[in-house]
Amino acid sequence: MSVNEYCLKFVSLAKYAPEMVRDMGARVRRFVLGLLDDLFADANITAQNNDMTITKMVYFVQGNEDRLKEEERLRREKEREFSKRAKSTGNFNHGGSQAGGNRQFFKKLKLGPAPSSASALVHRLKFNKKNQNFRTTDS
């Protein structure tokens, strides 16, 4: 239910319980208690103002509702854009032959045995911590 719909319902029902909404402060507090959780926290703080009227509160809550709807719309749009990018850059969401089209890229190269001179060089290199350079053990 939107804030406008809630406000109309609140005003129409307030006629049947005048003792619950006898002054403007009580009316505003009762209005705030019926709001959704997303809107309640800010409205509850704002309701503490002494000069708050039901009209001011409705405008305030409508502004918050509009802001929350816009944030939700932007979040959905961002998710949709991310989903489109993921699909266009490799179909990460699908299995099968389409997703495996570039598997050759990930296969390891088959190397033969390392030449003995290369492995000997690895054993002869040592790391000097003082000046952080590699040097051979021969020098």
Of 133 and 7, the one with more pLDDT: 7
Nearest to 29 by CA among 5, 8, 45: 45
Nearest to 7 by CA among 64, 57, 75: 57
User: What phi, psi does 71 have (nearest 5°)?
Assistant: -60, -40
Task: Flag whether 64 is in a domain.
Answer: yes
Identify the domain containing residue 59 by its residue range: 3-88
Task: Flag whether 62 is in a domain.
Answer: yes
Of 45 and 90, the one with more pLDDT: 45
Task: Flag whether 103 is in a domain.
Answer: no
Task: Flag whether 76 is in a domain.
Answer: yes
Of 101 and 30, the one with more pLDDT: 30
Q: Which amino acid, 99? A: A
Task: Flag whether 58 is in a domain.
Answer: yes
For residue 131, the model assigns a pLDDT of 53
How many angstroms separate the CA atoms of 83 and 124, rounded?
Answer: 52
Nearest to 122 by CA among 104, 134, 106: 134
pTM to 2 decimal places: 0.55
Task: Flag whether 93 is in a domain.
Answer: no
Asked whether the predicted pLDDT for residue 74 surpasses 50, the reply is yes
Total domains in the chain come to: 1
What does the pLDDT look like over 93-128, one tens digit per residue?
A: 555 555 555 555 555 555 555 555 554 444 444 545
Task: Flag whether 138 is in a domain.
Answer: no
Task: Flag whether 8 is in a domain.
Answer: yes
